[in-house]
Amino acid sequence: MASLKGKEGFTEYYKAQLPLLDYDPDPVLLINPAYQDELTFTSEPLAWYPGAWLWPKAFPPGTMLPGLVEGHFYVLNAASLKPVLALNPQPGEIILDACAAPGGKTAAIAHLMQGQGELDAFDTSAARLHRLRTTVDQLGYSNIRIANRKAETLFKRSPAHYDGILLDAPCSSEKHVWHSPKHLAAWSASRIKRLKQQQIALLNGLWLALKPGGRIVYVTCALNREENEGVMADFKQRHPEAAISQQNRITPDATLFDPLFYARIEKPS
């Protein structure tokens, strides 16, 4: 497997899943509650997520909707909201979005916390942090802290600190690779192994930053098992005390969802 490289290798490795990478569902709108009364268009609500709307039928997909630049809503794929529901952040809690940029899941967490408690939104890329800061500034909440922090060593300054942690881990992101000639040419199966090692390091480090009784939601947009079920199996072997629940794969479709995997991991009290 490690010898598979480039487009030919990618096609061979993912041959059974390639059709899943060509779906192009419409995004949804995560509405900022502070601006809901100022929106100049309406749409149908996303039935299973409060405060999110389906893409408005009056506008072709990709249209620059009125209010977007001003931060009245955030455009994202519906799958991204599922792990936020699994995390279930509450007002007054101390929550970490560990790999937060560009900030869609941060926004969803912030709205559920209603400005109460503490929300840390960390990343390690200067360019991505700039995008994250723009997103957070538009939210209008004063309880969000942005910083350049390495998630895997965060426990050294914040041991057993967080009630809940969202880890949207760096991953293979096969849909992006498949549609990028540059990344497709550079792809290799060995990259999956490197990413899995990074994901394991991130998850084990963040476990030490989690309070007893807290929970981590692990997320990737990868299709391969190594970075998903494989990481969960490795983590459970290292931490038999952990309870892994809500382990789900979202299958891509033409209507709503991009590929996503997420699992909730609970730490005993």
255 exposure class (CB count in 10 Å sphere: 0-12, 13-18, 19+): exposed
Q: If you search the block for the tokens 């970075």, which residue do you land on? A: 227
Q: How far apart are CA 111 and CA 107, in angstroms?
A: 6
From 52, 166, 221, 263, the catalytic residue: 221
Q: Checking DSSP bridges between strand 162-168 and strand 210-220, what pairing results, if any?
A: parallel
In single-letter form, the type of residue at position 265 comes to: I
171 an active-site residue? Answer: no
What angle separates helix 229-238 from helix 190-208, to the nearest 10 degrees?
40
Q: What is the largest CA-CA distance in the chain?
A: 56
Q: List, edge to edge, every strand of the sheet that includes 52-54.
A: 52-54, 28-31, 73-76
CB count within 10 Å of CB 149 equals 19
Report, as residue numbers or ranges, the catalytic residues.
Answer: 221
